[in-house]
Amino acid sequence: MRVLAVESSCDETAVAVYDGPRGELLAHRVHSQTEVHAAYGGVVPELAARDHMRRLPLLTRQIMMDAGLGFEALGAVAYTSGPGLAGALMAGAAFAKGVAASRGLPALGVNHLEGHILAPLLGDDPPAFPFLALLVSGGHSQLIEVQGVGRYRLLGESIDDAIGEAFDKSAKLMGLGYPGGAALSQLAKQGDAEAIRFTRPMINRPGLDLSFSGLKTAVVNAVASGASHADVAASFEKTVIDTLVIKLGRALDQTGLDRLVVAGGVAANRPLRARLHAMMIERGGAVHFPEIELCTDNAAMIALAGFLRLQAGERDPAAGFCVRARWPLNALTPPGAVG
Ligand code: KG4
Ligand code: ZN
């Protein structure tokens, strides 16, 4: 079964084709809307939805050419049905359902967070279940015990800002544009990570929840006091990573797991990857990351998650469709259990 997948939950329009039985990603493309939203310093939902509508037809034609396939070679269509911006999700869902209906193909709405967590399965070194997942993106910071596909237990999450959001807000403050997570990390290379001693949030509190709004305020104050932006960036990045190392150590101890998966846009952060790699070697375990380009939003991960459920017989209801702006991972069930 070859699956065409569409991702449109936020500000990337993405399309992919995945050959499920062969486990082969045939093609994937991501069109970033950064330019559309840059002037506003954040994503404007209405503009995001319109741009998805505008881009999807051509992007899909291109992806079929990349894959060297005609539409008759497809077996199903998967699309992100949540969580995300409602209008943006609707644009992708309507397009995907239209393609499916015109070709008589089954369609399935996929959970974006499940896509992120399963993305390392597309790589050369796929993790075995069970594992601990750290999902760190612009909208989510969660620690999840993953027993299998669709078997997720939330262990802890940020009680305020997501980590990507903290990166982006700090970057914006330093004039690094939006979304500035990667730019902040770039700037941090030139700074001294010990220059500013930020308090590591929540490490003295028991449990596995996270909090980053206090750190964000500390960054505001450091910048206002005239500290070097490179030093602020380096100290901020190190504080975030230190905090994650402590919380992840606790979660691994608590669950007895020795495999870690890190996914979501912030998983593209090189210093984070290096520290977690060292940490897992020291613990005698292993860490798995998606390929860098599959950390941020993409449709390859949606194609994979969709395939795993479609092959178990899951399909959208015959009539209508719904998108879910909120759709927590622990609401999911294993493939084939519903649908
Ligand atoms: O998963 P994603 O593409 O979108 C969401 O579902 O949110 O994650 C985007 C987030 C942004 O906050 C972006 O600044 C952050 O990932 N990000 C990074 C890096 N690359 C992307 N944060 C830190 N370091 C990076 N290298
Ligand atoms: Zn995402």
Domain boundaries, the chain: 2-117+296-331, 127-289
Rg (CA), the chain: 20
Question: Which residue among 167, 172, 273, 292 has the greatest number of ligand 1 atoms within 8 angstroms of its CB, and so is best to mutate?
Answer: 167
Residue 339 scores a pLDDT above 50: no
Residues 301/303/309/312 CA torsion (nearest 10 deg): -130
Question: Which residue among 266, 291, 301 has the greatest number of ligand 1 atoms within 8 angstroms of its CB, and so is best to mutate?
Answer: 266
Cα–Cα distance measured from residue 62 to residue 321, given in angstroms and rounded to the nearest whole number: 26
Q: What was the pLDDT predicted at 317? A: 87
pLDDT, averaged across the chain? 96
For 185-199, how does the pLDDT look when each residue is reduced to its tens digit (9 = 90+)? 999 999 999 999 999
Q: What was the pLDDT predicted at 235? A: 98
The class that CATH gives domain 2-117+296-331 is: alpha beta
Residues with Cβ within 8 Å of 81's Cβ and at least 6 positions away in sequence, in order, are 89, 93, 109, 110, 111, 321, 322, 323, 324, 327
Ligand 1 center to residue 312 CA distance, Å? 31
Q: What was the pLDDT predicted at 178? A: 87
Ligand 1 binding pocket, CB closer than 6 Å: 10, 137-139, 164, 167-168, 179, 181-182, 185, 264-266, 268-269, 296-297
Which ligand is located closest to the Cα atom of residue 302?
A: 2
Contact, 305 vs 110, CB < 8 A?
Answer: yes
Kindly state the tokens that stand for 5. Answer: 């997948």
For 228-283, how does the pLDDT look when each residue is reduced to its tens digit (9 = 90+)? 999 999 999 999 999 999 999 999 999 999 999 999 999 999 999 999 999 999 99
Phi, psi of 119 (to 5 degrees): -55, -35
For 284-298, how does the pLDDT look when each residue is reduced to its tens digit (9 = 90+)? 999 999 999 999 999
Roughly how many angstroms between the first and final C-alpha of the chain, as a whole number? Answer: 18
Residues 2/62/115/272 CA torsion (nearest 10 deg): 130
Q: How far is CA 104 from CA 112, 243, 308, 317, 321, in A?
A: 24, 49, 20, 14, 16
2-117+296-331 matches 127-289 in fold? yes
pLDDT band for position 338 (50/70/90)?
low
Task: Give the residues across from 151 on adjacent strands.
Answer: 148
CATH topology of domain 127-289: Nucleotidyltransferase; domain 5 (3.30.420)
For 72-99, how does the pLDDT look when each residue is reduced to its tens digit (9 = 90+)? 999 999 999 999 999 999 999 999 999 9
For 124-156, how does the pLDDT look when each residue is reduced to its tens digit (9 = 90+)? 999 999 999 999 999 999 999 999 999 999 999
Name the pTM for this structure. 0.96
In 173-318 the beta strands, taken as DSSP E runs, fall at: 259-263, 286-288
Residue 297 CA: nearest ligand 1 atom is 3
